[in-house]
Structure 1
Amino acid sequence: MRIRLTMAILCLALVPLTTNVLAQQRPNILLIMAEDMSARVGAFGDDVAVTPNLDRLASTSIRYPNTFTTAGVCAPSRAAHILAVHQMSVGAQHMRTRSFKESAYRSVPPAHIKAYPELLRRQGYYTFTSSKLDYQFSNTSAGSGPFSIWDYEGAQPTWQGRAEGQPFFGFVTLTQSHERQMFPNVVVANNATGTRSQVVNPNEVLVPPYYPDHPAIRRDIAQHYNNIFSMDQTVGKLLRQLEDDGLADNTIIIWTTDHGDGLPRAKREIYDSGIKVPLIVHWPASLKPAGVSPNSIDKKLISFVDIGPSVLTVAGIQVPDYMHGSAQLVPNASPERDYIYAAKDRLDGFNFRERAVRDGQFKYINNLLPDKPGATHISYRDQLATMQALWQHQAAGKLNAAQRFWFEPRPAEELYDIVVDPHEINNLADSAEQAATLTRMRSALTDWRGAIADYSKTAELQMAKDFWPDGEQPVTQAPRISINTAGTAIIVPSAANDSVGYRVNGGPWRLYSKPLSLPKNAILEAKSVRYGWAESQSTRASHSLGD
Structure 2
Amino acid sequence: MSLSADDRPNVLWITMEDTSPRLGCYGDEVTRTPNIDRLAADGRVYENAFSTAPVCAPSRASVMTGLYPSAIGSHHMRTRTHDREGLPDSYQAVPPHYVTAISEHLRRAGYYCTLNVKSDYQFGEPFTMWDDHSDEAHWRNRPGDTPFFAMFNNTVTHESGMWDLEDGGHIDDPDTDPDAVDVPPYLPDTEPTRRAIARQYDNISESDAWVGRLLDQLEADGVADETIVILWSDHGEGLPRCKRWPYDSGTNVPLIVRWPGETDGETVSDLVSLVDLGPTTLSLAGEDVPRYMHGRPFVGSEVDDSREYVFSTRDRYDEEYDMVRSVRDERFRYVRHYYPERPFVLWIPYRNTHPAMDELLRLDADGELNGVQAQWLADSRPAEELYDLQADPHETTNLVDDPAYEDDLERLRTALDDWRTATGDAERASESEREMRERTWPDGEQPRTATPNFVPNAPGNRARECEPNGGTFEGPMTVSLYCPTQGASIAYAIGSADESQWELYTGPIRLDSDEEVTLRTKAVRYGYEASTERQATFIVH
TM, length-normalised to structure 2: 0.92
Q: How does 1:130-279 map to 2 (within 5 A)?
A: 130-138=116-124, 145-185=125-165, 198-279=174-255
- TM-aligned CA distance change 1:122 to 1:188, over 3 Å: closer
Alignment-mate amino acid for residue 416 of structure 1 = Y
Q: Which residue is 2:490 aligned to?
A: 500
Long gaps (5+) in structure 1: 1-15, 139-144
Q: How does 1:35-434 map to 2 (within 5 A)?
A: 35-99=17-81, 101-138=87-124, 145-185=125-165, 198-285=174-261, 288=262, 292=263, 294-330=264-300, 333-408=303-378, 409-434=380-405
Which structure has the greater CA radius of gyration?
2
Q: Which residue is 1:541 aligned to?
A: 536
Contact 1:115–1:149 (Cα < 8 Å) also in 2: yes
Counterpart CA distance in 2 for 1:146 and 1:497 is 13
Partner SS state of residue 539, structure 2 = coil
Q: Which residue is 1:4 aligned to?
A: none
Contact 1:50–1:199 (Cα < 8 Å) also in 2: no
What's the CA shift string for 1:5-27, capped at 9, x where partnerless?
Answer: xxxxxxxxxxx6xx75x875111
Deviation at 1:402, TM superposition (A): 1.2
Partner SS state of residue 269, structure 2 = coil
What's the CA shift string for 1:434-470, capped at 9, x where partnerless?
Answer: 1111111101101111111122211111101111122
Alignment-mate amino acid for residue 69 of structure 1 = S
Alignment-mate amino acid for residue 157 of structure 1 = A
Contact 1:80–1:86 (Cα < 8 Å) also in 2: yes
Q: Which residue is 1:8 aligned to?
A: none
Deviation at 1:304, TM superposition (A): 0.7
Partner SS state of residue 64, structure 1 = strand
What's the CA shift string for 1:70-102, capped at 9, x where partnerless?
Answer: 000001101111011000111100011112632
Partner SS state of residue 299, structure 1 = strand
Counterpart CA distance in 2 for 1:465 and 1:189 is 38
Counterpart CA distance in 1 for 2:96 and 2:41 is 41
What's the CA shift string for 1:475-531, capped at 9, x where partnerless?
Answer: 100111123332311111213421000000031001000111135111001111000
Q: Which residue is 2:466 aligned to?
A: none
Counterpart CA distance in 2 for 1:177 and 1:325 is 26
Q: Which residue is 1:478 aligned to?
A: 451
What's the CA shift string for 1:169-221, capped at 9, x where partnerless?
Answer: 011111110011112127986667xxxx9441101100111112100000000
Q: Does 1:489 align with 2:482?
A: no
Deviation at 1:104, TM superposition (A): 2.8
Partner SS state of residue 429, structure 2 = helix
Partner SS state of residue 282, structure 2 = helix
Partner SS state of residue 301, structure 1 = strand
More strand by share: 2
Contact 2:91–2:437 (Cα < 8 Å) also in 1: yes
Identity rate, percent: 41
Q: Does 1:25 align with 2:14?
A: no
Long gaps (5+) in structure 2: 459-473
Partner SS state of residue 516, structure 2 = coil
More helix by share: 1
Q: Does 1:515 align with 2:508?
A: yes
Counterpart CA distance in 1 for 2:520 and 2:96 is 26
Contact 2:160–2:168 (Cα < 8 Å) also in 1: no
Deviation at 1:542, TM superposition (A): 2.1
- Superposed CA RMSD in Å reads 1.7
Partner SS state of residue 429, structure 1 = coil
Counterpart CA distance in 1 for 2:506 and 2:338 is 43
Counterpart CA distance in 2 for 1:137 and 1:420 is 40
Q: Which residue is 2:463 aligned to?
A: none
Contact 1:498–1:529 (Cα < 8 Å) also in 2: yes
- TM-aligned CA distance change 1:189 to 1:207, over 3 Å: closer
Q: Please, which moves more after superposition, 437-446 or 156-165?
A: 156-165
Deviation at 1:334, TM superposition (A): 2.1
